Structure formats: structure tokens, C-alpha cells
Structure 1
Amino acid sequence: MDKQKGILLESGTNELEIVEFRIGENFFGINVAKVKEIIPFTKPTSIPNSHPCIKGIFKPRDEVITAVDLPRYLNFPEEKSDQARYIISHFNQITVGFLVDAVVGIHRISWEKVEKPDETIFSGHEGIATGIVKLEEKLIVVLDFEKILADISPNTGIQVADVSKLGPRNRSEKPILIAEDSKMLANMLLDSLHAAGYTFVTVMPNGKEAWDMLEAIKKDKSRSWKERVSLLITDIEMPRMDGHSLTKKVKDDEDLQELPVIIFSSLIDDQMRRKGEALGANDQISKPEINRLVETIDHLIL
């Protein structure tokens, strides 16, 4: 898979590419930006006392990779097929191989076409999907791979307790706006920022709703928008409007361009960093580096 061609070269288009894959008779998707490569299934080496959804480890090249049994995590029956593949993914600074029954193809779509799903689907897994895409007569569920990984290995996610390592904190009422579609991550961010002393935090579930709020604040002439929002933190992957498009809108706006924007995403790598810089982001931080996020907020708004 050549990431040099396609969506990653474009900025603020509010589009993405997804890899469509199949588990049983169900179709799912993962953002191409999270995918390093797709390789045929090979039997992994089992690891004693590991999580039930950890199938084992394998070494396709020079790196040992953990294999996650995605059908088992989703409570689907095992399907033995020569079409089985590992989707080798890299996010949150971790490389993981997700086992799927088959890979169907790649689709380029607009985030506006990605609908927000109900909070609880697939056997009670809260927030297991970040979006639903309808292609022709087929529904593709875009899974929340960060939550899946955090469920299996909690230490890979945001650690609220790490904020205490920053030492004594003063209380701040500087208003902060967050655009984050994952309910789990949004709650962790809220808890972390509250622990860091930031008590006036508003969360919007996607870039579109965050932008609508900013426009409403800007139009309210009763007081300056700077009194209503001091900083924006945005994820990249979100339905309706992604974080890059949101950043571009803010930085292209004659009034709002002074608003500090931090992109806080599991997708941050060298290529994504260049893209964010071109859009005018004030900083870009990879999840789950919560302490660095707090220190950056301190620097930008205090």
C-alpha cells in the first residue's frame, strides 16, 4: 500500500480513504492512515496468560507484532479461510496486526458521508464504531480501533493518573473547546484536563459541530470570542468534518485565525505532522501523551 499516493497528500479536503474488510457476513472499515500493510494470515506464536483476544505474536519482517483476533473481540464465530489477512496498523505509537476474514478493497469518501452510529452496538461494546458508511446497498461500520486496543491493553490509552506527575496545579477558567468523536477518549480528556486544573471544557462530537459552535460564538457580539474560547483541541478522524478540515477553517478565518489549535491524534507521524503544519496547527501531539498535551496548553494560553 503506497501512502505517497492519495488522501495523505491533500490538506483540509474533508475526505478519507478506508480499507473495507469482512468478518463473517459483516463489513467494516479502517482509515488507510492507520494501515501500514496487509499480509496473508500466518499462524502466530501463542503467549501464555495473555488477553483472550490476543492470538499471539508473529514476525513478518524485522519487527515482532502482536496479533489481535478481531472476530473474537466482536463475538463473531471463527471462520477458517485462505482469504484471512492481517491488517498491520500503526497508531498511538504502537504497531498491531488485526486478524480479519478477508479484505475487500479501498474506498475514498467524504467525512460528510460518515454517519455517527448509536453509542452501543455489537453485543454491548460501547462506542465500538466511529461511523457508518453506506456504499450502494451495503453498510460499512468504521471501527474505533483505539478503543479496541484500550479494551485489550488499557495501558495503551490515555492515563489520567499521569497528570499528577506534573506536580501542583493552579485552577484555570480559560475556556477550552475539544472536538473528539470517541466518547471514551472524550471522557478521559475531560478527566485529565480537570485534574490539570482546567475546569471550563466543552466537548463537541465532531469537527462540524465544533465549527458551528465557533461560528455562533463569533457572531455573538455581546462579548469577544476570545472570552468564550481560548484554545481548540481536535482529533483528526471524525464524522461529518475531520480535524484537518476544522483546523483549516479556523486558520483561514479572518477573525478566528488567532485561536490556538492543537491536533491531538493517534495518527501523528512525520507525514501527518507536515500536513498539520501546512494547515497552521499550533502544535500536534500523538495520543496518548496527555502530559505533553497539558504542558502545551499551559504554554499556549497562560
Structure 2
Amino acid sequence: MQNKILLETGTGEVEILEFVINNKHYAINVIKVKEVVDIDNLTKLPNCPPSIAGLILCRDEIITLIDLKYIIENKKEYKEKFKTIICEFNKLRVAFNIDSIVGVHRIAWDKITKPDEISANSLVIGNIVLDKKIILLLDFEKIVTDINPSTGISEDKVVQVNYKDRSHIKIVLADDSDLIRRLLKDTLTKAGFKNLKLFNNGKLALDYLYERVDEKKDKFMEDVDLLITDIEMPQMDGHTLTRKIKEHPILKRLPVIIFSSLITESLRHKGQAVGANAQLSKPEVGDLVDCIDKYIVS
């Protein structure tokens, strides 16, 4: 049963890897983790930012090690041997140093809450209460993008889109990142889109779509032409959102583009399993506009 759940997609659950840095508990989505290894071959780089510890060699592959302890605690600490999380997202393979691993937990997305406005931290995308402690789900993509903006969506990529009048196209977009929503809105606006509805999680987007169906039945596409969704979102993830749409007798006609840093060749089957029409990695902003054009008849 355990293995069966692990293989399913769009169940509304996520597996997190809980780890510890300086006696504080953090988490990462297991889908981003390739392996956890002990490293003793760090090569320091000259004149590099303090957030980059150097290079490591893992299975004959050279990987950049980001000093997660420095990013979180603003302290430099080097050991001859340390535990490392090897990750893959945004078409990158990158490593992060940690102190120890607690374990893997399967939880529902709707049990992950976004930080409130008082405690909001740009590196934390969700709070998880487990075993009477708070675990902070970190935004690893932002950590990497802050170091090198070219690895993610940046202002430079926003301007590199071709404009034409697309004001008649009605798009619903779900992404929990305020930054990504703003940049995507800027991108799509520069490409000529005017009719955009933005939501910060999949549940809100689905509720809106259900409202359109309740009001207009088979004519719901008078109000929406296409959905763009992230995968990692509190309350409801993009895979679950896509599955619910594609299993709905009326909504299933709606084209769905999954736009996420988690789109890799090894994970693409997850989006296919829930019926996504297309899947793009987040750096591919220009390709997103082309993909929308493919599914919308002018």
C-alpha cells in the first residue's frame, strides 16, 4: 500500500523530507530530491559569493554546493565531511548542505499553510505542524534564483516575448508565489493578454472553475479558455487540480498547462498521468506564450 500511494499522482498528498540545520527543522518536497549523500570532497571556489560553498564530486558528476547553513543562519562553517541533499529542479542539479535527516513524511497539501503576513519569510513557502513541532517548507528555487537569476524567471526574461493582440483570450493562473504571479502577469500582459485571473493556490482556482460551470454549464468556456498551474501549492497542488479538472464531465475540455520548476524528463509522466495538455519548466517563459497560442484558436 505504501508503494502504491507513492506511485500515484494527483492524490492531494505530498511527501516531504524533514531535515535539521542547527537544531531547527526544515523540509523539502521529496520530488526534488535525487539522493542524500555524505560528502568529503568539497573544492572551494575563488571569489565566489558566500552562499556558494564550492563544488562537490558525486558519482563522477561535478555539482555546485549551496551553503544552506549560511543562507539560513548567516554563518560560515566548514567540515571535512557533511551530509548533502542532491536536488534537481529548473533543469538544474544542485546540492545543499545540512546537519541530519529526520525522515520522510506523507501529508495532505491542505495541511500545509502559507505563512501569515506577520511571519512571512521569502524563503518559506509553507508551515507544517508535525509531532507537535513546526517544520518550515523552504523555497529552494528562490534560494537558487537569488544566487543566479538566470536559473529562474527573471525581469530579463519577461521582456523577451512577442506581442500580438491576445486580449480575447481568458486565462486562469494558479501559483502560490507572489513573485511568480507578478512576473507571469507582466509577461502575459507584454505578450498581449489582458483577461487574466490569478489565484494563489489550486483550490481557489478550482472553486472559480466550479462557479463558472454552475452558472454556464457547457458554455463555461465563455469565461475561461485555458488554465496555467504550478505544481507545489498549499491547499491543493497542481497535479490534483489537473486531475479534478480532467475527471470532471464538463471541465475536462479545458486545456491545462502545468508550468513548474519540477518538470523534468524523469517526472513528466506525473503530469501525463493526470491529463495535462502540456508541461513546461518555469524558466521557459517565452515557450509558455507559444504553448498558449497552440491551444487557443484565434
Question: When the two structures are superposed, what TM-score results if normalisation uses the length of structure 1?
Answer: 0.90
1:270 Cα deviation after fit = 3.0
Aligned 8 A contact 1:89 1:96 in 2 = yes
Aligned 8 A contact 1:159 1:290 in 2 = no
1:288 corresponds to 2:283: yes
* Bigger mean CA offset, 268-277 vs 292-301: 268-277
Q: Which residue of 2 aligns with 1:117?
A: 115
Q: Which residue of 1 aligns with 2:124?
A: 129
1:1-302 aligned at under 5 Å gives the runs 5=3, 9-77=7-75, 84-118=82-116, 121=119, 125-126=121-122, 128-162=123-157, 164-221=159-216, 224-301=219-296, 302=298
Alpha-carbon distance change, 259 to 106 in structure 1, aligned in 2, over 3 angstroms: same
CA offset digits 1:21-57 (Å, max 9, x no partner) = 1111210000110000001142521222222200111
Q: What is the aligned-residue RMSD (CA, Å)?
A: 2.3
- Paired with 1:121 and 1:74, the residues of 2 have a C-alpha distance of 15
- Paired with 1:120 and 1:35, the residues of 2 have a C-alpha distance of 30
Question: When the two structures are superposed, what TM-score results if normalisation uses the length of structure 2?
Answer: 0.91
- Paired with 1:121 and 1:157, the residues of 2 have a C-alpha distance of 25
CA offset digits 1:236-268 (Å, max 9, x no partner) = 111111111100111111111111000111111
Aligned 8 A contact 2:228 2:259 in 1 = yes
Q: Secondary structure at the match of 1:297?
A: helix
CA offset digits 1:102-154 (Å, max 9, x no partner) = 111111111121111135748xx42x111111112111111111111111111
- Paired with 1:84 and 1:76, the residues of 2 have a C-alpha distance of 18
- Paired with 1:293 and 1:299, the residues of 2 have a C-alpha distance of 10
Question: What percentage of residue pairs aligned between the two structures are identical?
Answer: 45
Aligned 8 A contact 1:30 1:143 in 2 = yes
- Paired with 2:236 and 2:98, the residues of 1 have a C-alpha distance of 28
1:167 Cα deviation after fit = 3.7
- Paired with 2:9 and 2:288, the residues of 1 have a C-alpha distance of 23
Aligned 8 A contact 1:67 1:98 in 2 = yes
Structure 2 gaps, min length 5: none
1:278 Cα deviation after fit = 2.2
Aligned 8 A contact 1:79 1:101 in 2 = no
> In the comparison of the two structures, how many residue pairs are matched?
296
Structure 1 gaps, min length 5: none
Aligned 8 A contact 1:68 1:99 in 2 = yes
* Bigger mean CA offset, 164-173 vs 18-27: 164-173
Alpha-carbon distance change, 161 to 83 in structure 1, aligned in 2, over 3 angstroms: closer
- Paired with 2:217 and 2:267, the residues of 1 have a C-alpha distance of 38
